[in-house]
Amino acid sequence: MATRETCALVTGGSRGIGAAIARALAADGWPVAVNFRSGEAAAPAVVDEIVAAGGTAVPVAGDVSAPGAAEQLLAEAERQLAPIGALVNNAGVNADGLALQLEDDDWNRVIETNLSAAFRLTRQAVRGMIRRRHGRVVNIASVVGTTLTNPGQANYAASKAGLVAMTKAIAVEVARRGVTVNAVAPGFIATEMTAELTTGTLEAVPARRAGRPEEVAASVRFLASDEAAYITGATLVVDGGLSA
Ligand code: NDP
């Protein structure tokens, strides 16, 4: 099945890595639903940019962690564009603090947004993908929680390690139906999330620089493509050698 008959939903697509993923998928011919939570101005700007470049995109508002969000976001994307052929679980937050001081709210918010919401969206999206015998799920994880550990990120690390484990578990469940489920694990990427990074942090990166959102997006675009049909359950690390 040609991917053009289906669309891609990118969560948290209004800025940072998500916006770059939306642009990259659109450039590959995917009609893209650009989900945003609070970026009322930013998401339409990403959409306008895609349309100006000859692509197809629509903004889809909604907090991925809200009750019923998975059903609502997917239905809205399908109503405006086409059945979901690719889901990119990119929306993510951090709420850092040493474990002894970490409040339940900060724990729950990060796990809900980064992991539980990704599960609910995947569960819902994969139903149609299985029926069509074609689908792509790409989860944006992190090197934190898999190969690296940062003090003060117990909640974030647990959410991202959980995302990698979930990726593998669902991948083996749906592999025979033509649906792939993979993760991309970025290192330090220059976005608002890492705006407070010190130069010292970057000295630990063998490439001696932060990554660009487009460099993460290129991996997502590949994993969403037909060429990546035999890759599933994998985590592609994009970190300038940080975890090598
Ligand atoms: P940003 O903080 O720049 O952007 C995060 C995006 O997620 C925003 O568009 C934000 O929307 C959206 N978002 C957050 N919570 C929700 C929600 N509940 N519902 C819908 N959208 C939401 O982060 P990055 O671009 O840097 O990160 C993108 C992903 O990549 C995250 O999952 C992050 O954990 C991961 N990552 C980032 C790394 C980095 O170095 N930057 C490294 C490793 C992983 P809003 O504007 O409404 O807040």
Q: What is the signed CA dihedral for 52, 215, 117, 174, rounded to 10 degrees?
A: 100
Backbone angles phi, psi at 99, to 5 degrees: -55, -40
In ligand 1, the atom with minimum distance to the C-alpha of 14 is: 9
Q: Whose CA is nearest to atom 19 of ligand 1?
A: 63
Question: Which residues of the chain have a pLDDT value below 50?
Answer: 1-3
Residue 236's pLDDT is what?
A: 98
pTM of this structure: 0.97
Residue 197's pLDDT is what?
A: 72
Residue 201's pLDDT is what?
A: 79
- Identify whether 230 is a catalytic site residue: no
Pocket residue to mutate for ligand 1, from 65, 184, 193, 194, most atoms within 8 A of Cβ: 193
Burial class (CB in 10 A: 0-12, 13-18, 19+), 132: middle
* Residue in the structure block whose two tokens are 């000295």: 203
- Does residue 6 contact residue 85 with C-beta atoms inside 8 Å? yes
Rounded Cα–Cα distance for residues 34 and 156 (Å): 24
Rounded Cα–Cα distance for residues 175 and 116 (Å): 22
Q: Which 3-state string (H, E, C) describes 30-95?
A: CCEEEEECCCCCHHHHHHHHHHHCCCCEEEEECCCCCCCHHHHHHHHHHHHCCCEEEEEECCCCCC
Residue 146's pLDDT is what?
A: 84
Three-state DSSP class for residue 219: helix
Q: Which residues sit with their C-beta closer than 6 Å to ligand 1? A: 11-12, 14-18, 35-39, 63-65, 90-93, 113, 140, 142, 186, 188-189, 191-194
- Does residue 180 contact residue 229 with C-beta atoms inside 8 Å? yes
Separation of CA 17 and ligand 1 centre (Å): 7
Residue 45's pLDDT is what?
A: 96
Residues in the chain: 244
